[in-house]
Amino acid sequence: MQPGPIHSHDMQPAIAPISILVVDDHALLREGVRAMLATQADMLIVGEADNGRRAVEEYARLRPDIVLMDLQMAEMPGLDAIAAIRAIHPDARIIVLTTYSGDGRAIKALRAGAMGYLLKASLRKQLLDAIRSVHLGGKHLDATVATAIALHVLEDPLTEREIAVLSLAAWGNSNKQVAARLDISEETVKGHMKSIFSKLDATDRTHAVTLAIKRGLIDL
């Protein structure tokens, strides 16, 4: 008995794997992610970068489906790289991989255009689901980060000037020095500090700085 002809509708087109660009300045982290994704038939790492500037270049060259992006890197930090990529390619799908659980940093990343935010400590449990979810157009937030955002969502956020004042204070500048650096009066600085204490529920300058760093509201 001769086999019948093969009709085109009998042949299912092969589904291309999710192409992924891994951006992190630690080679061990990149190797770990590569080993984890190598076991997944529907995922393929197509490139790597060790800083934000190269990430922007590699994205333009490779146009991957997903970017896994570290935040703290030399030459160009992750937040700037996210903004740069999204400015040219607004459909880019980027997942942040970071050690920072603070709500402030996560909100900055989401506002810059990230669609996922994962802590490196939970990659083994969440990375694969996050990649698939974001690839389909969803968002994925680490539960710890989502809780931190929820805890502070109703609070009055620090203004840009208050962040500038607190950042200078964090470097050990006195009110007088902060005033000189920002070209405002010392009384104005005191007013900003009072507002900062109230918004952060801080007891003093050191407490305010500690809370702000933990939440990722200021960078040192």
Per-residue pLDDT tens for 146-203? 988 888 877 888 899 999 999 999 999 999 999 999 999 999 999 999 999 999 999 9
Beta carbons within 8 Å of 50's beta carbon, 6+ residues apart = 23, 24, 25, 27, 30, 73
Determine the Cα–Cα distance for residues 90 and 86; give it in Å rounded to an integer. 4
Instruction: Tell me what the mean pLDDT of segment 32-53 comes to.
Output: 96
> Residue 56: is its pLDDT beyond 70?
yes
Determine the Cα–Cα distance for residues 87 and 79; give it in Å rounded to an integer. 12
Question: Are residues 92 and 55 in contact, defined by beta-carbon separation less than 8 angstroms?
Answer: no
Q: Exposed e or buried b for every residue in 67-97, given b needs 16+ CB within 10 A?
A: bbbbbebeeebbbbbbbbbbeebeebbbbbb
Lowest-pLDDT range of 19-28, 38-47, 65-74, 139-148: 139-148
C-beta neighbour count of 7 within 10 angstroms: 7
Of 26, 192, 38, 151, residue with least CA distance to 97: 26
Cα dihedral 154, 72, 169, 190, rounded to 10, equals -30
Max Cα separation, the chain? 97
Question: Are residues 142 and 117 in contact, defined by beta-carbon separation less than 8 angstroms?
Answer: yes
Question: Are residues 147 and 117 in contact, defined by beta-carbon separation less than 8 angstroms?
Answer: no
pLDDT, averaged across the chain: 91
What pLDDT does 128 receive? Answer: 96
How far apart, in Å, are the Cα atoms of 40 and each of 17, 118, 136?
A: 9, 19, 17
C-beta neighbour count of 62 within 10 angstroms: 15
Judge if pTM exceeds 0.85.
no
